Chains A and B, each alone.
Chain A
């Protein structure tokens, strides 16, 4: 079966760095997405990785290792507004997104 695993909840301090991990087992791979979702709102796109390595975009970076079926989202200089759920999603061989359950990130002052 297809499976995406990510931690249910994480807590970090304002100004610090946090890494959210995602491991996956899917039928085929056509890229991995990270989305941010605030409570009661729809997801917003953060990043897309299809090749191994690190993609940096401002305070957010995303890493992919296809051989390990592993990705992480790195958030630097955390701000209170970063409190949200972070969803990992993998596009399988049919170009369908398989979603993780999301990681709720709580930022404390």
Chain B
């Protein structure tokens, strides 16, 4: 149980285009979903936390107008990188937690590798 999927696994796009990444919890309802970014040889960096039906909470330094997050249902959250640039190339990972708040384990998706040319 507790499987999280991400789509696509990898994407290559031209500078200036927008890319949408989907994160789905397959066998549980995810009250809270998290979006992370990881650059090579660095740790995970939390970008934003989203709760179903409400606006995402962005970490300091993350542009909310550039990284659009939608958590429309208890099993789906999307991250849209708008007007992508080469510096946005990174490994984007989502995770989901079945319960709101509390010391709950986060279940990670397999990640999406974004390369912006």
Q: Answer yes or no: are A and B bound together in one complex.
A: yes
Q: Which residues of A approach B to under 8 Å, CB–CB?
A: 30-31, 33, 35, 40-45, 48, 50, 87, 91, 95-97, 99-102
Q: Are B108 and A97 in contact (CB under 8 A)?
A: no
Complex A-B, nearest 9 residue pairs according to Cβ-Cβ distance, in ascending order: A42-B108, A31-B103, A101-B43, A30-B103, A42-B111, A99-B43, A99-B44, A42-B93, A95-B101
Residues on A with C-beta less than 8 A from B91 are 40
Q: Are A44 and B108 in contact (CB under 8 A)?
A: yes
Residues on A with C-beta less than 8 A from B104 are 95
Q: Are B43 and A42 in contact (CB under 8 A)?
A: no
Q: Are A41 and B110 in contact (CB under 8 A)?
A: yes
Bitwise, B14-57 to A at CB < 8 A (1) or not (0) is 00000000000000000000100000001111100100000000
Q: Are B105 and A96 in contact (CB under 8 A)?
A: no
Q: Are B44 and A43 in contact (CB under 8 A)?
A: yes
Q: Which residues of B approach A to under 8 Å, CB–CB?
A: 34, 42-46, 49, 91, 93, 101-111, 113
- Chain A interface SS verdict (over half): loop
Residues on B with C-beta less than 8 A from A87 are 43-44
Residues on A with C-beta less than 8 A from B34 are 97
Residue of A with least CB distance to B57? A96
C-alpha gap A48/B109 in the complex (Å): 19
Q: Are B105 and A41 in contact (CB under 8 A)?
A: no
Evaluate whether A45 and B43 lie within 8 angstroms (CB atoms) in the complex, with A95-B101, A96-B49 already known: no
C-alpha gap A91/B104 in the complex (Å): 9
Identify which of A33, A40, A48, A102 contacts B43 (C-beta below 8 A).
Answer: A102
